[in-house]
Amino acid sequence: MSAIQAAWPSGTECIAKYNFHGTAEQDLPFCKGDVLTIVAVTKITREQAERLLYPPETGLFLVRESTNYPGDYTLCVSCDGKVEHYRIMYHASKLSIDEEVYFENLMQLVEHYTSDADGLCTRLIKPKVMEGTVAAQDEFYRSGWALNMKELKLLQTIGKGEFGDVMLGDYRGNKVAVKCIKNDATAQAFLAEASVMTQLRHSNLVQLLGVIVEEKGGLYIVTEYMAKGSLVDYLRSRGRSVLGGDCLLKFSLDVCEAMEYLEGNNFVHRDLAARNVLVSEDNVAKVSDFGLTKEASSTQDTGKLPVKWTAPEALREKKFSTKSDVWSFGILLWEIYSFGRVPYPRIPLKDVVPRVEKGYKMDAPDGCPPAVYEVMKNCWHLDAATRPSFLQLREQLERIKTHELHL
């Protein structure tokens, strides 16, 4: 997923592509591979941004979500005692301030204006670091989720993302996965993820084991290790010659049971897709990536959402609910039974939403049982209220499983 399409609704981090040592004492130096956060965790208004950038310090900046243009950002820069606000437009998967220079992500944009003002009131010198990491560290200690860094061995990198590396680790003799976030501002965004994970426990959710917050601001989120990687990669690498219908149905039920649990606890995942489901050594599928998970009935900007997986009402009206997760589950079922194909094949991305809103539904994947395809189509009702609950979906899938066992 790209840095914008699946970024945190508030809190975007990217990896520096080159070293920057600064030309003045107050410059923000960074090295290739460093992770930099440039968006606050909470929604910030124009007035709040101006207060945060006070007292004035030329070159101090932050990036916030635009209040007037949902899906876009605003770059707020302190310069000569005033705060200037620049709209960052999100267009065709790229970002621009002046519609002359375009960037793949916010990190590239910040890197550019850090080295050259290029039309801004000043070049960017220092990001505003938000408060809150220290308080969160105390909270994890109080609630018993803090782990001891001395007992964690980091072994090798098993994944890279916009937010930092995922590493294979050893904690007290057990294999673990460790999400490594290396600076204070970035860590704050991930504290939200860790906070959500402390509230959730189910055999088909990737289990949080604990959190390490370093005094200098680094954050390590330690979870159970899922040896066989993401479900989409698992499906693509094995295919129908290896995976039978019983295996596909089991994965479908695994995910459905996790989502039924979230449904029962009033949580909405918002980014359910085969890429965000992991497979354990013993072939259990578990839902992961709680980055967007929030309590039900909240909204978020839609400019960064994975269009092919997101329900029409969530894209159109920012309405996220268990029922929008149900839509995504239908897409995930299609991914499972197509062995990891990208949804809406041969349809240009810009045409997907208009066609879906007119009632278009994907055809069944080759070899997909008609009963499973009916489940998919039930998930894709345009009227969210007519979609089944996850409890009903689980019951339908279990009936299909029972029927197949008797064939």
Annotated binding residues for ATP, as ranges?
179
Q: Which residues belong to the annotated binding site?
A: 179
Report d(CA 390, CA 401) in Å as an integer: 16
The four Cα atoms 43, 45, 50, 52 give a dihedral, to 10 degrees, of -20
Report d(CA 203, CA 191) in Å as an integer: 22
CB atoms within 10 A of CB 407: 4
Q: How is residue 299 written in tokens? A: 């909204």
CB atoms within 10 A of CB 326: 25
Tracing tokens 């609630």 back to the chain, one arrives at 143
Residue 184 falls in the annotated catalytic set: no
Q: DSSP letter string over 263-312?
A: HHTTEE-S--SGGGEEE-TTS-EEE---TT-EESS-----TTS-GGGS-H
Q: Which position among 165, 184, 254, 271 bears the catalytic label?
A: 271
- Could you give the 3-state DSSP secondary structure of residue 46? helix
Q: Provide Rg for the chain, Cα atoms.
A: 22
| Enzyme catalytic residues | 271
